[in-house]
Amino acid sequence: MGIFKAYDIRGIYGEDLDAELARKIGRAYARFAGVKKVVVGRDCRPHSEPLFAGLAKGLCEAGCDVIDIGLASTPMTYFANGTLGADGSVMITASHNPAEWNGFKLCRAGAVPISGATGIKDIERMVAENDLGAPAAVPGKIAKTDILPQYAAHVRSFAHLARPVHAALDFANGMGICEAESFKGTDFTYDSLFGEFDGRFPNHEANPLHAETLRDLQEKVRSGEYDFGVSFDGDADRAGFVDEKGGIVPMDFITALVAKDLLASNPGATVFYDLRSSKVVAETISAAGGKPMMSRVGHAFIKAQMRENDAIFAGELSGHYYFKANFTAESSSMAVFALANIVSRAGKPLSELVAPLRKYSQSGEINTKVSGDPADVLRRVKATFEGKADRVFELDGVSVEFKDWWCNVRMSNTEPLVRLNLEADTRELMEDRRDELLALIRA
């Protein structure tokens, strides 16, 4: 069943999943995780309602009580999980995927994610084999809870602005609208784009990773006096940023800026960055007195590594920003406040804060569709550089490091794609090595 992915359950509503399958997933999740009280939130897609009804029915059949927090961002669901004494949580969303998609993000208590390796594959088997167990003698109940005021107050406590900050926020008609409740009553003000719930996403894709998604925001920022702009994805667990000129700020640079700021009050603390990030991120963390640690891609892996190493913060190239203060989970509005804090104290605009970080030349992520086994490509890359590079390692795919350039080649978790990220000290060297690696990958 192709909807059971590495990090969540996701497919096209009406084709891959429906309310009845949601019921079975609820039963299987309850049985597998042994949960008795579960937080359930949902995004604003029209089919999130029937999926909630099916999922809640399955959970109740298993004897599990449902805490229904209604329309919510994914960070709100994590927060509710951690604060309401729940045994787990489910967020009904397909994140940045198009409107016809939907799915489920599953967690244990304390917002600890369930991934393919830690339970999703088991739940897939249970659903496929109808191994759902007998219904409980006493079914569970559904109770509604409004977690937004408590979540907003929690995030608001993270604001420490030295002066008022004004931004442009593109909600993409998604769940960032909930996150914005956190900004009320502070010196952070904003003008909004597409600030009405519409799970059809009629204005543009809700994915800040794609440059074309940011065009409306860039135009808005350039038309007024803004400190920066923010673009939320569909379930608001990711955020992309543009500077006061409308220039796109790479997400790993946001990681570096936020890490430096947090380390000022947490000297010596550990900060994680994903292995696709510019090496300027690790340099910045070290210079700020922190301990930089590299993580593999994917929220389940990053959160596990953060907990194991008591890290205060982590950033991912996809725009996920993880805070120890938020149950080691994402909060896009906390990331917004973190940047607003920095800008308010800096005495210079965001573009000037970012400029020193543009030290190296990056290829960006380049995807190659392969006809054979993608693992063969990784073996070929490893064999080519082993014994020649300063370092070759396999934290996630194959990474190769030389003094003046590095690359990472990894497989997609969902498609027959090989992904290349490469960085070098100069643009000429980056282009030369990029072309060599692509020739090797596509041989």
Say how far apart CA 351 and CA 36 lie, in whole Å: 49
Q: In terms of domains, do 69 and 155 share one?
A: no
Domain around 67: 9-146
Do the beta carbons of residue 199 and residue 46 sit within 8 Å? yes
Residue, of 297 and 217, whose pLDDT is higher: 217
pLDDT digits (tens, 9 = 90+) for 363-408: 999 999 988 888 999 999 999 999 999 999 999 999 999 999 999 9
318, 324, 330, 336: CA torsion to nearest 10:
-80
Q: What per-residue confidence (pLDDT) applies to 120? A: 97
Ramachandran sector of residue 89 (left: φ over 0; alpha: ψ -120 to 50; beta: rest): beta
Q: Is the pLDDT of residue 247 over 80?
A: yes
Q: What per-residue confidence (pLDDT) applies to 6? A: 86
Q: Is the pLDDT of residue 1 over 70?
A: no
Say how far apart CA 174 and CA 44 lie, in whole Å: 7
Q: In terms of domains, do 308 and 424 share one?
A: no
Q: In terms of domains, do 309 and 325 share one?
A: yes
Q: In terms of domains, do 300 and 324 share one?
A: yes
Q: In terms of domains, do 107 and 56 share one?
A: yes
Q: Is the pLDDT of residue 152 over 80?
A: yes
**Domain CATH number, residue 351:** 3.40.120.10
Q: What per-residue confidence (pLDDT) applies to 264? A: 96
Domain boundary among 357, 390, 412: 357
Domain boundary among 357, 386, 405: 357
Q: In terms of domains, do 161 and 299 share one?
A: yes
Q: What per-residue confidence (pLDDT) applies to 413? A: 72
Phi, psi of 336 (to 5 degrees): -65, -45
Mean pLDDT of 188-210: 97
Q: What per-residue confidence (pLDDT) applies to 33? A: 97
Mean pLDDT of 148-169: 98
Q: What per-residue confidence (pLDDT) applies to 412? A: 83
pTM of the model: 0.95
Do the beta carbons of residue 150 and residue 81 sit within 8 Å? no
Q: What per-residue confidence (pLDDT) applies to 415? A: 72
Count up the domains in the chain and report the number: 3
- Catalytic positions are 95
pLDDT digits (tens, 9 = 90+) for 50-66: 999 999 999 999 999 99
Q: What per-residue confidence (pLDDT) applies to 414? A: 64
Domain membership of residue 396 (yes or no) is yes
Q: What per-residue confidence (pLDDT) applies to 416? A: 77
pLDDT digits (tens, 9 = 90+) for 89-106: 999 999 999 999 999 999
- The mean pLDDT of the chain is 96
Domain boundary among 357, 383, 415: 357
Q: What per-residue confidence (pLDDT) applies to 372? A: 81
